[in-house]
Amino acid sequence: MSTYLIPVDFSKTAEHAAKYAAKLSRTMSGYKLILLNAYYVSEYETILPTLDFVITTDAHIAEEIHNRLEALEKLKRKLLEINPEADIEISLTRETILRSIVERINKEEIDLIIIGSNGKKAKDESDIGSNAITISKASPVPVLVVPPKADYQSIRKVILACDFKKVKEVIPMHSLRNILSKHAIELLVLNIDSKDNIDSEEQHFLHDMLKDFSPVYHYSDHPDTIKGIVKFAKAEEAQLIIALPKKYSFFQSLLHESVSQKLTIKSHVPVLLLKD
């Protein structure tokens, strides 16, 4: 069985990502969805008053836990309307969301984390969406980031964006094969640099590594890397962009606020951050 972990904070952003996961699970069998919510209360909150002179009491904590469990059950029912056959588990932890994610991954085999990214003018902004890149850096498993305008489509065409540099070190072939082998897809490899800057030896390595997927190679010399990827994805009507957030700064900052509008707001295409 494959397992998807979906951190939720009851925002519209998180609910959208959860619904996307339910639609994704509908196309395949043997998938489990885990709805994870974290409710962390520090010891200081139980002994020091807030700005409103309110101290977090045991009764308040118990009520909050009850309300969160009810909210998780409500979200679960919504997902079952999308996929009545879905195997859905709800989980409420008392740790921070990042620690909760890492502990759950250590506890059982998680194949994919699915989170939503915030919209440009989101009225119901998600803390999880705001920390998408932080979660992806801490996670040892792939993270799928679903933009607010992304509606699930059967994955037929996938874009792998890279720069043809140090391909042996940068491309996590095990994770890539695991993802691509589950779908009958057309793979488009986009070099985010001009043909003039390509190292022929690195290009040979990449062609050899990906030969089983029969990819088609494309090149982009757009002055704005992210805009170039988004423009290409739209033109090709791709359903997924795969990025490799390892050593290259533009991928490291892929989901920071400064560029999120370019990739996740203006684009309808979900972004898969692959890890080793």
**Residue tagged 């791709």 (tokens):** 238
| Cβ 258 vs Cβ 224: under 8 Å | no
Q: Range with the lowest mean pLDDT among 64-73, 176-185, 217-226, 250-259? A: 250-259
| Cβ 8 vs Cβ 113: under 8 Å | no
What would the two tokens of residue 170 be? 């940068």
pLDDT band at 269 (very low <50, low <70, confident <90, very high): confident
The pLDDT tens digits for 155-192 are: 889 998 877 665 555 566 777 777 777 667 899 988 87
Q: What is the dihedral of CA 236, 240, 241, 244, to 10 degrees?
A: -150
| Cβ 183 vs Cβ 210: under 8 Å | no
What would the two tokens of residue 137 be? 């850096």
Please check whether residue 257 lies inside any domain of the structure. yes
The pLDDT tens digits for 54-108 are: 566 778 888 989 999 999 999 999 999 999 999 999 999 999 899 999 999 999 9
Higher pLDDT: 90 or 120? It is: 90
Give the span between the Cα atoms of 76 and 213, in whole angstroms: 36
Higher pLDDT: 272 or 134? It is: 272
Whether residues 133 and 196 share a domain: the answer is no
Whether residues 114 and 13 share a domain: the answer is yes
Q: Range with the lowest mean pLDDT among 61-75, 129-143, 253-267? A: 253-267
Whether residues 250 and 184 share a domain: the answer is yes
The pLDDT of residue 123 is above 80? no
Please check whether residue 151 lies inside any domain of the structure. no
Return the pLDDT at 255: 45
Higher pLDDT: 117 or 110? It is: 110
CB neighbours (10 Å) of residue 185? Answer: 19
Q: Give the mean model confidence (pLDDT) for residues 207-236.
A: 84
Q: Range with the lowest mean pLDDT among 118-122, 128-132, 178-182? A: 118-122
Give the span between the Cα atoms of 192 and 205, in whole angstroms: 17
- Cβ-based burial of 10 (10 A; exposed 0-12, middle 13-18, buried ≥19): middle
Query: In the chain, which ranges are E strands?
Result: 2-7, 31-38, 87-93, 112-116, 143-146, 157-162, 186-191, 216-219, 240-243, 271-273
Please check whether residue 23 lies inside any domain of the structure. yes
Domain that holds residue 114: 2-146
pLDDT band at 110 (very low <50, low <70, confident <90, very high): very high
Residue ending a domain, choose from 117, 146, 175: 146
Most confidently predicted of 66-80, 133-147, 161-175, 213-227: 66-80
Q: Looking at residue 196, which CATH number applies to its domain? A: 3.40.50.620
Closest CA to 145 of 264, 23, 226, 25: 264
- Share the mean pLDDT of the chain: 79
What would the two tokens of residue 91 be? 């989980």
Return the pLDDT at 198: 57
> Distances in Å between the alpha carbon of 260 and those of 21, 45, 139?
21, 33, 19
The pLDDT of residue 52 is above 90? no
The pLDDT tens digits for 36-50 are: 999 987 655 555 555
Q: What is the largest CA-CA distance in the chain?
A: 66
Q: How many domains would you assign to the chain?
A: 2
The pLDDT of residue 259 is above 50? no
Whether residues 127 and 192 share a domain: the answer is no
Whether residues 27 and 161 share a domain: the answer is no
What would the two tokens of residue 234 be? 């739209």
The pLDDT of residue 237 is above 70? yes
Whether residues 108 and 236 share a domain: the answer is no
Please check whether residue 152 lies inside any domain of the structure. no
Read off the amino acid at residue 146: V
The pLDDT of residue 196 is above 60? no
Whether residues 259 and 167 share a domain: the answer is yes
Closest CA to 144 of 258, 252, 255: 255
Residue ending a domain, choose from 105, 122, 146: 146
